Amino acid sequence: MAERTDVVFVDGVRTPFGRAGEKGQYWNTRADDLVVKAIIGLLERNPNVPKDRIDDVAIAATTQQGDQGLTLGRTAALLAGLPKSVPGFAIDRMCAGAMTSVTTLGSGIAFGAYDLAIAGGVEHMGRHPMGFGADPNPRFLSERLVGEDALNMGSTAERIHDRFPALTKERSDRFAMRSQQKTAAAYENGKLQPDLIPVAIRSESGWGLATRDEGMRPETNMESLATLRTPFRPHGRVSAGNSSPLTDGATASLLASSDAVKEFGLTPKMRMVSFAFAGVEPEIMGLGPVPSTEKALRKAGLSIDDIGLFELNEAFAIQVLSFLDHFGIDDDDPRVNRWGGAIAIGHPLAASGVRLMIQLARQFEEHPEVRYGVTAMCVGLGQGGTVIWENPHFDKRAARKA
């Protein structure tokens, strides 16, 4: 049996994220074509990797039907030009789909079954709204396994506000405004563009090219946020302004063993340290990253103070704030979502986990004083997922100066 080997995040790319629906840039683009474009872009950026040495392809989607169905990892691999000898499969863990693609294939690398693998996710929420066509077992409600609110993500966010009165709407709105501002600044400084793969798009006016995330609203301010209606509850606290928008997009990442890194002359961007998933009450699914992060830290032998960078998925501002309050981290802590998050960029459900990793990897390059970082997210039906990563650029001297 092979000894456990390091799991290395070599590279990650994504399409620009688009607004879901008829007015969105991807309305006339197939979901599988989005992830195929991401995979092709990933392979073009890594020409040292022989296509026939890819051991597996895992692609996640939350609504696995139509152009997001048919064992997506396999079909996407074939469409992206990988040899027919390369297998693939599909994964569903709702919002943590791509994250689970990475941890599943990473586990295979650590075990010695894989040397190279591609992990990612796609969601075309315009074509496939969350839960569309699903038939939840009536026993969920009749036997009170979950409350009626558990299947409505916005209602679960309102419940977190109920549970923690200190987490006010004003705090959520301010966090959302800062997310928009940070993402706009990141674009202005060219931080996000290097990992975007342009996508040809078709509309009534003809062909074009998607090169930017479509949902950003840098003009957002506290006054405008205060006027937005709260659709999940009269006089509630969760609005479209402090939530992630419905989004279309795809991500893809290249994972490798330490042996493959040497064999093909690859440059590691991150090393996987540990990961964990955890369950919570489905009615407050946004609290999921708290126990999953505690679990991942425990498995890694680390504490929250060891983490120098956080990429937390902003499904709702309240979900991130509950995480920060639990761990005693300030709302404006510079370690958290330095380039903004899903409130501005978008959250194409099963694709988002790898977006978090892409941004963390880039920040590791800029921050050699940071040794460990976290990617974490809440998951529908009451789950959380966390991956802890180590910075290969870590410099003890830089850390002492910091």
Instruction: Give the pLDDT mean for 242-257.
Output: 98
Residue 280 has pLDDT above 60, yes or no: yes
CB atoms inside a 10 Å sphere around CB 335: 17
Whole-model pTM: value is 0.97
Active site residues: 95, 347, 378
Least confident of 95-99, 231-235, 359-363, 367-371: 231-235
User: Residue 105: its pLDDT value, please?
Assistant: 98
With the C-alpha atoms ordered 187, 230, 158, 164, is the resulting torsion angle positive or negative? positive
User: Vertex 191, ends 76 and 372: CA angle to 5°?
Assistant: 85
Does position 236 have pLDDT exceeding 70, yes or no? yes
**Cβ contact 68:124 at 8 Å:** yes
User: Can you say whether the dihedral through the CA atoms of 155, 159, 162, 167 is positive or negative?
Assistant: negative
Q: Which of 135-139, 181-185, 264-268, 357-361 has the lowest mean pLDDT?
A: 135-139
Q: Would you state the pLDDT for residue 357? A: 99
Confidence of residue 130 (pLDDT cuts 50, 70, 90): confident
Least confident of 106-110, 128-132, 142-146, 371-375: 142-146
Distance in angstroms (rounded) separating the CA atoms of residues 323 and 347: 18
Please report the pLDDT score of residue 3 as a whole number: 65
Q: Which of 107, 100, 95 is nearest to 272 (CA)?
A: 107
pLDDT tens digit sequence for 311-333: 999 999 999 999 999 999 999 99
Residue 1 has pLDDT above 60, yes or no: no
**pLDDT at residue 2 greater than cutoff 90:** no
Least confident of 39-53, 96-110, 200-214: 200-214
